Chain A
Amino acid sequence: MNRRGGTDKSKNFGQSIKRLFSELRSFRILIVIALVFAVSGSVLSIVAPNKLSKLTDTISSGLVVNQEKFESISNTINRKLANIDVNAVLNSYKLDELEKQEFLNTMLSVDTNKSEEFIKNLMDLSENTLNIILPKFSIENEEISTQDQVKFIRIFSTLENHDVSQVYKKIDECPKSIRNIVKPFMDLDKVKKISIFLGLLYLTSALLNFFEGIIMTVVSNNFARKLRNRISVKINKLPLSYFDKNQTGDVLSRVTNDVDTIAQSMNQSLASLVSATTLLVGTVLMMFITNYLMAITAIVASLIGFVFMFMILSKSQKYFRARQEELGRLNSHIEEVYSGLLVVKAYNGKEEANSKFDEINKKVFDANRKSQFLAGIMQPMMMFIGNFGYVAVCVVGALLTVNGSITFGVIVAFITYVRLFTSPLAEIAQAMNSMQSTAAASERVFEFLDEQEMDTEENVVKVLDKNKVKGNIEFDHVRFSYDESRIIINDFSAKATQGQKIAIVGPTGAGKTTMVNLLMKFYEINSGDIKIDGVSTKELSRENIHNLFTMVLQDTWLFNGTVRENIIYNRVNVTEEKIKEVCDTVGLTHFIKTLPQGFDTDISQSDSVSAGQRQLLTIARGMIEDAPFLILDEATSNVDTRTEELVQHAMDKLMEGRTSFIIAHRLSTIKNADLILVMKDGNIVETGSHDELMEKKGFYAELYNSQFEL
């Protein structure tokens, strides 16, 4: 827990990431497939805007009047009006005299300044006359009748200006034949084809995205499972000294938090980093291929925004850190006050607690509001950058379209490109950030996995059979120290024979557990030897030694599980009778009967099982072991007297017939011990029987007498 402060940044980013990838080796193929999917997905989403622009072009080509044909119609008509064959009209047998006269009058009024009026008058002539002046003609199989031509001329004669929308409105009034000719042509077939193609493209891209996600999920979760299992196995391979030096919370946070961090960012960052990079590179490439001027516009416009944003972001980092720190301080203050509320109340410490709380709370408020503000404006900033890019692209695009160097479709494509370009930038920044914390987390996990393990026990040559061991033990000039600087046990020799009791006494913190550590070979002795039935423990495996010992410690270790599971623990083939027998001997039977489900009742660490009952359960667990040696911690603090009697009775039963090492607290045990080891400050200061030690009037005598003083 105390390492929390440094967990966010890794010590060596590159190395940690390299290590992480080498650990991922067994998933290599899957990862490569996922990355290929990611890359192809990105490529598709780059191709898509291009297609979309083609679609837009196709649609917009259906907007504009067919200029060419429109001109050819009006040219044809104009030509006819300009070169009216007067003789042909006058000689026509189809016209009567009146019609001819009217025609002549009109023709004579020709005045170049008043051509509009002339044409108007002309159009008022009879149908027959007009048929001759404006004979019907065809363009692309569409016949334009004289009447249609007259209508066309009438409509456009009122055209005031050449505003496009005016012209289009006039065209809508035109007769059908003309409309059909000039009508813009939209290739609906092409629209359909492009749409289907785009649809398939999007679908494929989505599917690739989906499968990539699934694969990465599978990989990251299986990797996390593997890491967790490795940590679990590792715990049991580490020397005890590791756990004496490190806190439980630290190991726990590696199993859960750190592994989670790795799995999560692998799941999200790795693929998104790759696909975002592809997208970025691809977009830039496509932009330049499409139009380099537009490309430069889009990139410059977005980058200006991003530079600005990163400037803010880098400044805001410190507020985020401040918030985490202040929040941590506040939390620990709250925790402290709440859990010590009795003392806070009894000592009138409320004022003090409140003023400290107010001070930190104010700081949290300040850090909160600043960091939240900065985090909150990121999104609007991104939006603005997007819009800015849009306008820039449109304006430059319009300039170029007016010049005629690009089509409208290109602009539409660039609108998408701008979006495609800005989003991966943000994504990459985010992914890099989470890769940082991944590196830090994986560093911690691998550091744990690389921790030095216990000796491999290659020198083990002998095996002692639990059922044949008599129970003699000999300490032969044992020398031991936890670290080089301070020798804890110096040249200790003693002998215990089958069935003897060895009491270990001393004040708290005198190092009584050191003896347990040595006997169980949790730690290796520096020199000298410990022999069981004459065999050096150096030649025995730890597993073998553990088999020969039953151990009941003061911290009554029960795990989440049923009463039965806790008693049997890892042993197999334990009969029901044996369990019942043991519980009878220990005195647990009554207690177990009072439990709702008897032997199958779940006991959790904090349940209503009292301290004494816990101790009884661990004694029962030890009793099933039935080993020739016993290590027992008698301490029964915080146990009520009745239960204490039961516990002591059970312990006495446990000691019967076994060579026992007892961390003794009871005078009866101490007095009856065959050998007393008196410990002080980690050393064995005196050895001998009770009477011998009392006679010596040393530390033991002092200790013994002190409890009856006041």
Chain B
Amino acid sequence: MFKLFRNFNRKDIFFIIFAILLIVGQVWLDLRLPDYMSKITVLVQTEGSSMKEILLNGGYMLLCALGSLISAIIVGFTASNISASFSMKVRKKLFSKVGDLGIHEVKQFSTSSLITRTTNDITQIQMLISMGLQLIIKAPITAVWAITKILNKNWQWSAVVAVAVLILLSTIITLMILVLPRFKKVQKLIDKINNITRENVTGIRVVRAFNAEKYQENKFGKCNDELTNMQLFNQKAFSVMSPVMYLIMYFLTLAIYFIGAHIIDVATMSDKLVLFGDMVVFSSYAMQVIMSFLMLAMIFMMIPRAQVSAERINEVIESEISIKDGDIQNVETDLVGTVEFKDVSFKYPDAEECLLKNISFKANRGETIAFIGSTGSGKSTLINLIPRFYDVTEGEVLIDGINVKDYKQDILHNKIGYVPQKAVMFDGTVKSNVAYGDNGKGEKSDKIIKEAIKVAQGQEFVEKMDGTYNAHIAQGGTNVSGGQKQRLSIARAIARDPEIYIFDDSFSALDYKTDAILRKELKKYTKNATSLIVAQRIGTIMNADKIMVLDSGKCVGIGTHKELLKNCDVYKQIALSQLSEEELNNE
């Protein structure tokens, strides 16, 4: 956690020190209050004391209280400023770090974990800082100061306070030991309840088709019982808390008064009055001590959680970026649009097996190269090496004759129009989604966008939408169908006007007919661009200039559809599973 605190700058530290000083002042004022209280008490008690003096002391006490309030307000203002700006800074740092991470690292962390690290974990830290600045500093100061004020008064009273603190702490600790592990279990059970409900709702057709309603309800009921019992235990344990606190506070006062009565009784006349005043003051100091221990206990409950959060944040911030930027910005070459793999092998840094072994091929400008093979054969990995989502382990990938590692990444990405397997949609409009990003050629005109959507066979449905090109697209594209998303995602690549297209199984959600028309139009529109296509369907790729057949990371055949049918067994097998012999012969 302290590592994270290095993100405080000088100004922050100045303000933190400022806040600490103010808190010290505040504690001083707070502890003056009982002094004035006792003075007032004595004055009220003794006959003949003048009203003026009572008013004077009352005024001082109010001034102290007001001073304490004002400094608390200033501290609150400073603390919330510090904590909010701290979380803003760390969040920013984390966010841009995630943007720099390679896909491999992102996968290792998992996207959802990165999201919680950027949101919840930072909120945890922020809460600790804003609470902590006030409590962590205030509570111990108050406790120590109040104790020193108490100590020289009377040992019997001090002993009672010590006992009360002990009872308080042991109650809290026992509760923590008892309840904390069960809290985790409750979280798990809530997840389970959620899961069972999700199952039931997402599989509602299956549940009903199998007449399994009772089965589901029983399953839910069982988990529900477990959850309820666990919750009951926790909450029952916790309902001890408030009465115990109540008892400690009141019994402490009572004990101080009871002991006080006996002490006063045997004291000399002149001591009696002083002792009485002391007693009243003492009981209010004792409350302060108890309260500060309570606050400390609260902080100690918060720290472990914040600690875990801080570790999770640091883990990301300190992770090494594996993809280093190159420095080539400008290329003038006649090799524009070529993609070449030279004896490329790839494996994950911590893996033993290679995912790709000795892959070599060259695509010239305007050519279409297709990749086919079963899942896990390495098709997607292969094309992910081109935009440097991963870096090769051996060999090299050349674009326009230059190793992709030597490019500045922006420049490299400007050459590529990449369409992922799963279409990604951003919150915005059809237009903003298609025009997404920066291709180094300035803003994309409406004409380009409309053209791109038309080529991607999206014109018809987009124009039917409310607001047509300005129609709202929800986050993740939940308001358009899978096929529509895929078409918009293809349009995005077209609008980018790249040298090289990469389609990572990007036609899977389209029906055969749309798939066919789209590819035909695309071919016409992108005559000069190189296309690399990964696909499952033979129909999608059989007209490619070159087809590479992959099996377990190795190239087992490369050639045209007809050539491969003759001399590549794996390809033939795939083809036969999708088309009948007769249809293949028809070609």
Using known A-B contacts A255-B193, A345-B389, determine if residue A384 contacts B65 with beta carbons closer than 8 Å.
yes
A411: chain B residues at CB < 8 Å are 44
Interchain CB contact under 8 A, A225 and B225 = yes
Interchain CB contact under 8 A, B80 and A376 = yes
Q: How far is the CB of A488 from chain B (nearest CB, A)?
A: 17
Interface string of A129-154 (1 = CB under 8 A from B): 00000000000000000000000000
Interchain CB contact under 8 A, B261 and A58 = yes
Interchain CB contact under 8 A, A372 and B83 = yes
Which of B270-278, B298-306, B327-335 binds A? B270-278
Q: How far is the CB of B271 from chain A (nearest CB, A)?
A: 8
Enumerate B459-517 residues with CB–CB distance to A below 8 Å.
475-476, 481-483, 489, 492, 496, 505, 508-517
Enumerate A514-543 residues with CB–CB distance to B below 8 Å.
516, 520, 522, 542-543
Q: How far is the CB of A548 from chain B (nearest CB, A)?
A: 10
Interface string of A201-242 (1 = CB under 8 A from B): 011011101100110011001101100110111011000100
A369 contacts partner chain B, Cβ-Cβ < 8 Å:
yes
Q: How far is the CA of A507 from the CA of B513 in the complex (A)?
A: 8
Interface string of A172-206 (1 = CB under 8 A from B): 10000001000110101001100100110011011
Interchain CB contact under 8 A, A369 and B81 = yes
Using known A-B contacts A365-B85, A376-B79, A520-B205, determine if residue A165 contacts B270 with beta carbons closer than 8 Å.
yes
A547: chain B residues at CB < 8 Å are 211
Q: Which residue of A lies closest to B424 (CB)?
A: A340
B196: chain A residues at CB < 8 Å are 232, 559-560
Interchain CB contact under 8 A, B210 and A383 = no
Of B207, B511, B573, most A-chain CB atoms within 10 Å? B511
Interchain CB contact under 8 A, B58 and A347 = no
Sample (14) of A-B pairs whose CB atoms are under 8 Å apart: A56-B257, A63-B264, A184-B272, A225-B224, A342-B424, A361-B92, A394-B58, A398-B44, A509-B481, A570-B214, A639-B536, A703-B511, A703-B512, A710-B542
Q: How far is the CB of A289 from chain B (nearest CB, A)?
A: 21
Count of chain A residues with a beta carbon within 8 Å of a chain B beta carbon: 162
A55: chain B residues at CB < 8 Å are 257, 261
B84 contacts partner chain A, Cβ-Cβ < 8 Å:
yes
Q: How far is the CA of A559 from the CA of B203 in the complex (A)?
A: 9
Which of A113-121, A348-356, A428-436, A690-698 binds B? A348-356
B240: chain A residues at CB < 8 Å are 210
Q: Which residue of A lies closest to B88 (CB)?
A: A365
B91: chain A residues at CB < 8 Å are 361
A83 contacts partner chain B, Cβ-Cβ < 8 Å:
no
Q: How far is the CA of A650 from the CA of B124 in the complex (A)?
A: 52
B148 contacts partner chain A, Cβ-Cβ < 8 Å:
no
Q: How far is the CA of A372 from the CA of B66 in the complex (A)?
A: 21
Interchain CB contact under 8 A, A62 and B261 = yes
Of B106, B209, B410, B573, most A-chain CB atoms within 10 Å? B209
Which of A73-81, A94-102, A329-337, A592-600 binds B? A329-337
Enumerate B217-252 residues with CB–CB distance to A below 8 Å.
217, 220-221, 224-225, 227-228, 231-232, 235-236, 239-240, 242-244, 246-247, 250-251
Q: Which residue of A lies closest to B474 (CB)?
A: A2
Using known A-B contacts A209-B242, A341-B99, A372-B84, determine if residue A570 contacts B66 with beta carbons closer than 8 Å.
no
Interchain CB contact under 8 A, A341 and B106 = yes
Partner of A338, one of B114, B198, B201: B114
Interchain CB contact under 8 A, A191 and B513 = no
A707 contacts partner chain B, Cβ-Cβ < 8 Å:
yes
B108 contacts partner chain A, Cβ-Cβ < 8 Å:
no
A251: chain B residues at CB < 8 Å are 197, 201
Interface string of B45-69 (1 = CB under 8 A from A): 1111101001100100110011011
Enumerate B116-168 residues with CB–CB distance to A below 8 Å.
118-119, 126, 130, 134
Which of A277-285, A290-298, A479-487, A641-649 binds B? A641-649
Interchain CB contact under 8 A, A164 and B47 = yes
A559: chain B residues at CB < 8 Å are 196, 199, 203
Q: Which residue of A lies closest to B376 (CB)?
A: A640
Interchain CB contact under 8 A, A248 and B98 = no
Q: How far is the CA of A58 from the CA of B475 in the complex (A)?
A: 73
Partner of A402, one of B51, B96, B579: B51
B269 contacts partner chain A, Cβ-Cβ < 8 Å:
yes
Interchain CB contact under 8 A, A383 and B54 = no
Using known A-B contacts A384-B66, A641-B574, determine if residue A332 contacts B427 with beta carbons closer than 8 Å.
yes
A464 contacts partner chain B, Cβ-Cβ < 8 Å:
no
Q: A412-B280, A507-B514 are in contact. List 17 more A-B contacts (CB 8 A).
A: A164-B273, A169-B269, A184-B272, A225-B228, A232-B217, A232-B224, A327-B119, A335-B115, A341-B103, A343-B436, A351-B438, A368-B83, A373-B80, A516-B205, A553-B206, A557-B203, A706-B512
B525: chain A residues at CB < 8 Å are none
Chain B: interface size category: 35 or more
A405 contacts partner chain B, Cβ-Cβ < 8 Å:
no
Using known A-B contacts A229-B221, A641-B573, A708-B583, determine if residue A380 contacts B416 with beta carbons closer than 8 Å.
no
Using known A-B contacts A217-B239, A236-B216, A334-B95, determine if residue A391 contacts B200 with beta carbons closer than 8 Å.
no
Using known A-B contacts A172-B269, A202-B247, A380-B73, determine if residue A560 contacts B190 with beta carbons closer than 8 Å.
no
Interchain CB contact under 8 A, B92 and A217 = no
A172: chain B residues at CB < 8 Å are 268-270
Interchain CB contact under 8 A, B264 and A59 = yes
Q: How far is the CB of A379 from chain B (nearest CB, A)?
A: 8
Q: How far is the CA of A140 from the CA of B60 in the complex (A)?
A: 46
Partner of B437, one of A203, A335, A352: A352
A233: chain B residues at CB < 8 Å are 217
Q: How far is the CA of A555 from the CA of B33 in the complex (A)?
A: 70
Q: How far is the CA of A252 from the CA of B190 in the complex (A)?
A: 11
A702 contacts partner chain B, Cβ-Cβ < 8 Å:
yes
Using known A-B contacts A384-B66, A391-B58, A399-B51, determine if residue A347 contacts B492 with beta carbons closer than 8 Å.
yes
B416: chain A residues at CB < 8 Å are 346
B362: chain A residues at CB < 8 Å are none
A263: chain B residues at CB < 8 Å are 231
Q: How far is the CA of A543 from the CA of B210 in the complex (A)?
A: 9
A549 contacts partner chain B, Cβ-Cβ < 8 Å:
yes
Interchain CB contact under 8 A, A334 and B476 = no
B324 contacts partner chain A, Cβ-Cβ < 8 Å:
no
Q: How far is the CA of A635 from the CA of B580 in the complex (A)?
A: 17
Interchain CB contact under 8 A, B99 and A354 = yes
Q: Which residue of B lies closest to A642 (CB)?
A: B374
Partner of A169, one of B192, B206, B270, B481: B270
Q: How far is the CA of A265 from the CA of B7 in the complex (A)?
A: 39
Q: Which residue of B lies closest to A233 (CB)?
A: B217
A640: chain B residues at CB < 8 Å are 374-377
Interchain CB contact under 8 A, B513 and A702 = yes
Interchain CB contact under 8 A, A383 and B224 = no
Q: How far is the CB of A454 from chain B (nearest CB, A)?
A: 10
A192: chain B residues at CB < 8 Å are 258
Interface string of A154-165 (1 = CB under 8 A from B): 000000001011
Q: How far is the CA of A668 from the CA of B539 in the complex (A)?
A: 15
Interface string of A11-43 (1 = CB under 8 A from B): 000000000000000000000000000000000
Q: How far is the CA of A350 from the CA of B408 in the complex (A)?
A: 14
B297: chain A residues at CB < 8 Å are none
B403 contacts partner chain A, Cβ-Cβ < 8 Å:
no
Partner of B76, one of A352, A354, A380: A380
A255: chain B residues at CB < 8 Å are 193-194, 197
A276 contacts partner chain B, Cβ-Cβ < 8 Å:
no
Using known A-B contacts A232-B200, A338-B111, A361-B91, determine if residue A191 contacts B261 with beta carbons closer than 8 Å.
yes
Interchain CB contact under 8 A, B261 and A186 = yes
A605: chain B residues at CB < 8 Å are 195
Partner of B197, one of A235, A341, A361, A642: A235
Interchain CB contact under 8 A, B83 and A384 = no
Interchain CB contact under 8 A, B235 and A186 = no
Q: How far is the CA of A65 from the CA of B435 in the complex (A)?
A: 94
Interchain CB contact under 8 A, A350 and B99 = yes
Interchain CB contact under 8 A, B197 and A384 = no
Closest 9 CB pairs of A and B: A347-B437, A213-B239, A640-B374, A570-B215, A380-B72, A340-B424, A707-B512, A372-B80, A369-B84
